[in-house]
Amino acid sequence: MTDEPATPPSATSTDPATGPDRDFLANAIKALVDKPEDVIIKRTIDDLGVLITVQVGADDMSKLIGKAGRTAKSLRTLLRVVGAKHDLRSNMKILEPDGSEYRAPERDDRPTRPPRAPRPPRAAAPAAKTTPAPKPAENKDDGASAGGAFDNII
């Protein structure tokens, strides 16, 4: 018996196209998209680690990327966890579908509104009316009270 840890056969496979990270990503992506038959996943190994390239149909691209890229970021995080479990450094690259053309929005494409008219200068604030402060009530000290807050009631 040897003291070497057992490694799964898919992690040490001689075929670079298969692996536990690719299998995980394939299952996750095919569950996300509407057309799982259009999903193409390729796995390559180089000196930096494992690169998995993913290509989906144009209609499913938004589902794969998610709002503000959150779904793609989550998939990359989970892929790294699966890869680390098998001592692999895995990363995912998403390819644009055939025929798609990404065009970054230009600042000139947005509608512009006319510049705002300058504001008129503020008028001086009216002088505050001063009212005399109320005079404090006189204390009638007949010796019966200790000078409390309820002396003026009676």
Q: What is the DSSP letter of 95?
A: E
Q: What is the pLDDT averaged over residues 76-83?
A: 93
Contact status, residue 28 vs residue 66, Cβ threshold 8 Å: no
User: Which helix (H) or strand (E) element contains residue 55?
Assistant: strand 49-55
Residue 137 token pair:
């009530």
Amino acid identity of residue 42, one-letter, is K
DSSP per-residue string spanning 35-53: -GGG-EEEEEEETTEEEEE
Class of domain 20-95: alpha beta
The 10s digit of each residue's pLDDT in 31-66 is 999 999 999 999 999 888 999 999 998 888 989 999
More confident: 84 or 5: 84
Domain extent listing, the chain: 20-95
Tokens of 50: 């494992």
